[in-house]
A and B are shown apart, each in its own frame.
Chain A
Amino acid sequence: MSAELSVAPARHRPDWLLPALTLGPAVAGIIIAAIITPTFLNPDNILSILRNASLIGIVAVAMTPLTLSGNFVSLGISQSAMAAMVAFVALLGEGWNQLATILVVLFGLVAIGMLQGVVVAAGMNPVITTLAAGAIIFGVVSEATEGRIVSVRDYPATWGGGDVIGIPIVILVFVVFTALLTLMMSRTVTGRETILVGANRATAEISGISLARVTIVAFAIFSIGLAIAGILEGAAFGEATAKSFPNLTINAIAALLVGGTAIGGGQGSPLRSAAGALLISVISNMMVLNDFSPGGRLAIQGAVVAAAVVLLDLFRRRGVRR
C-alpha cells in the first residue's frame, strides 16, 4: 500500500500584512488623536510624544532580540536601568571623567546581562532569572545608596535633555539604535540565528546553532539598551534614586507586545517594537490631553496591550492552520 502525501495548496500571506497590522494601529491612533484632540498636532506636543516614546522604545527595541530568541521578556528592566542611572550619576558625582563613566556603566551592565544569559542558557527559566536578578540589583543599590538621592553634584551633565540641530538627543539615539538593531536582526547571521532559535529551537540546535551563544548575545544587546536608557536619564536629571524608572518594565513590555513581537519568540522585529512604543506614547498622550484620570489611563493602556496580544495571536494561529 502506498501512502501518498497530500500537500495543501499554500495560501501565501503577504509579508507586509503582519507589520501592517502593528504599524497600522500606530498610524490610525495618530490620525484619531489628531481629529479628537485639538492640540495633538502642536509641534511641542509631537516632540513630547517622541521624547516619551524614545526612552521606552530604546528598551523595548533592545529587548526584542531577547524575546525573539524564545526567552520571553525580562522582569528586571526597571532595576537594571535604575542601576545604570544611579551608577552613572554617582560616578560623575565622584568626579569621574564622563567618557570613562559611560564605558564603565555600559560594560558593567552588559556583564550583568551576560551573567543572566549564562544562567538562562544553563536551563533556568528566563522570567524567574530576570525577576531574581532585578530583586538582587534593587537590593544592592538600595543598600549602597541607603535610600539617598544620588546626584552629579557640580558636574555639568545635562546633555541627556539636550538636542542636536533641534532634535532631542534621546530621539536621535532611539532612531539610530532602532535602525542598527533592525539591520542586525534582518541582515546578519546572528540576527537570523536569533529568530530561528525562537521559531524552532530543536531545528536550530540540529542546524548547529549554539543556543547558549544566541541567548547570551541577546542578553548583552538588551543590557546595552538598558545602559543607554539609564545614562540618558542620568544625564538629563543629574540625580537618581533606587526608585528611579518605576514604570519602565511594564511600559517596555507593553510596547514590545503591542508591536507584535511574539512572546514565545520567532516573530517580530525591533522596528515593530519601536512602533509599539510610539503607539503606547500616542495613546497615553491622547488620554492626558483629554483629561483621563491616571487610573483610566492605566486601564486603557492595559486593554490595548491585551487586545493587541489576543488579535495578533489569533492572526498567527489562523496563519498556522492555513
Chain B
Amino acid sequence: MTPFKKIAAVFCATALSLSLSVASFAEGTGKVEGDGKDLVMFTITASNVYGANQIKGAEAEAKKLGYKLTVYQNNFSQPEQDQQVQQLIASGIKPAAIIFWPWVADAAINDARLLAKLAPVIQLTQEPNEKSWPFVQAYSGANQILIGETLGRTMLKAREAAKAAGMKFKSDNGKLLVFQHPAGEKTGTERMKGFMAVTKDAPFDIIHTEFGANSPESGYEIGSQVIPKFKGQFDFLFVSNQQAANGIIRALKDNGIAPGKDVYIVSGDCSGSLEAVKNGETFGTGIQPAAVEGALAVRTAAKFIANGKIEGDVIQMEVEAGAPAITNAPPAKLNYMPHAPAIGADGVAATKIWGYNADEICAS
C-alpha cells in the first residue's frame, strides 16, 4: 500500500467511526433509565457551595435513573479541565453522555470537540456559543436573561418599597450602583441585558459599574473603596450574588449607611448566607438552585440518550415545590432550570424548588 493509500485508509476509517458514533447518538435507547450506563460530568470544585450543590443534585438524579455518574471537578481552572478531558479519553471509558461545564467557554471549544467524539455532550451552566454548538447536543442550566429579568422586577419592587417608606431618591427613578461579576463574564452581561429590558420604561440611573465582586471578601474589599467615593450619591445597589452582597453590606455599615433603610440592595443569585435577606438588609435575591441544575442536566442527558435527538428550541422549567416526573420526550436545544425571586424573610420561607428550600439551595 502506498503512503497516499495508507493516509486515505486512515482518513476513511476515522470518518466512518465518527459517522457511526454520530449515528449511534441518533438511535436512542427508548428509555430514560440508565441500567448502569456511565455518565460523565465536568464541573467546578465541590469546595465551592454552588459546585457542591450542583454535584449533589446530579448524583441524586443519576442514582434515581440508574446511571453511574463520574464527576471531574476543576478548581476554576481551564488548564486543569483540559487535562481531565485528556484523562477521560485516555481511560477508554465510553460514557452514554457527557455533561460539560466549560470553565472558560471560548478556551474549552477543543475540549467539547474531543468529548463529542466519545459521546453526546450536554453543556451545562454556560450556554454554548456559535463555535461550540457543532459539538454540543443541548444546553442545560440557568437562563441568565430570565434571571436578569427577575432581578429587574425585584429592583422595581425595591423602588416601590423605598418610595412607600418615604425615601427621597437622588434622581427621579433612583440612582443605582452596580457591583458586577468579573469583567467579561457572560453571566453578568446576560443578566444585565435582562435587567435593562425589564426596567427600560423607568430606568434606574446607573452611576457606576464595578467589576469583580463574587465573594464576601472581594465584595468587602471592593465595596469598602467604592462606597466612600459614591457615598450619598446612590439609592440602590445591584450586586452579582448574595455572598458578595454580604461583604458589601459590611462596607456600607462601615461607612454609616444602613442597608434596607438608606439604600436598597438586590442580589443576582443567592449563593451565600441568606441572613441579610431575612433581616431586610438585602431587599431581595434570585433563588438559583444549583442542585436542580445538576439534576436537570442528568435528566437532559437521559432524555437525549433515550431519544437520540433534540426537539424544539427551548424548554423553560417552571418553579415547582416538588420535582416533576421525568418524561420520555426528547430534550430541547436549550433546557432552562427554574428560577424564582425571594423578597424578605417571608419570600425565603415560602421558596421551595424541586424539594429544596431556600437555605438548602443557597447556603448549605
Q: Which residues of A contact B (CB under 8 A)?
A: 39, 42, 44-45, 47-49, 51-52, 138, 141-142, 145-149, 151, 161, 168, 233, 236-239, 241-247, 284-285, 288-289, 293-295
Contacts and interface: CB of A to CB of B under 8 A. Distances in A.
A149 B364 contact: yes
B49 A288 contact: no
B254 A149 contact: no
B227 to A, nearest CB: 8
Among A238, A285, A288, chain B packs the most CB atoms within 10 A around the CB of A288
Nearest to B211: A294
A149 B363 contact: yes
Q: Nearest 6 A-B pairs (CB), nearest first?
A: A147-B52, A142-B47, A44-B228, A242-B47, A45-B228, A294-B212
B364 A138 contact: no
A157 to B, nearest CB: 12
Contacts of B210: 288
Contacts of B52: 146-148
Contacts of B225: 45, 48-49, 52, 284-285, 288-289
Given A48-B225, A237-B250, A243 B211 contact: no
B253 to A, nearest CB: 7
B231 A44 contact: yes
A48 B212 contact: no
A288 B222 contact: yes
Interface in B202-234: 210-212, 215-218, 220-222, 224-229, 231
A39 B228 contact: yes
Contact of B48 (A147, A236, A247): A147
A146 B46 contact: yes
B273 A294 contact: no
B49 A239 contact: no
B344 interface: no
Contact of B272 (A51, A149, A161, A236): A149
A142 B45 contact: yes
A285 B218 CA distance: 13
A174 to B, nearest CB: 15
Interface residues of B, number: 40
8 contacts: A44-B228, A47-B254, A142-B46, A147-B47, A148-B52, A151-B273, A247-B218, A288-B229
B273 A239 contact: yes
Contacts of A146: 46, 52
Nearest to A284: B225
B280 interface: no
Given A161-B250, A161-B254, A294-B182, A147 B46 contact: yes
A148 B246 contact: no
B356 to A, nearest CB: 14
B255 interface: yes
A44 B255 contact: yes
B152 interface: no
B114 interface: no
A239 B228 contact: no
Contact of B217 (A49, A147, A233, A284): A233
B259 interface: no
B330 interface: no
Given A147-B52, A149-B272, A245 B217 contact: yes
Contacts of A241: 47-49
Contacts of A289: 225, 229
Given A142-B47, A149-B364, A294-B182, A48 B215 contact: no
Among B49, B210, B225, chain A packs the most CB atoms within 10 A around the CB of B225
Interface string B185-209: 0000000000000000000000000
A158 to B, nearest CB: 9
Interface in B221-273: 221-222, 224-229, 231, 243, 246-247, 250-251, 253-255, 272-273
B347 interface: no
Contacts of B222: 288
Contact of A48 (B46, B218, B254, B275): B254
Among B46, B228, B253, B254, chain A packs the most CB atoms within 10 A around the CB of B228
A185 B63 CA distance: 59
Contacts of A51: 224, 254
A245 B47 CA distance: 13
A49 B183 CA distance: 23
Given A241-B48, A289-B229, 17 more contacts: A39-B229, A44-B227, A44-B255, A45-B228, A48-B227, A51-B224, A145-B47, A147-B51, A148-B363, A148-B364, A149-B49, A149-B364, A151-B275, A237-B247, A237-B250, A238-B275, A288-B210
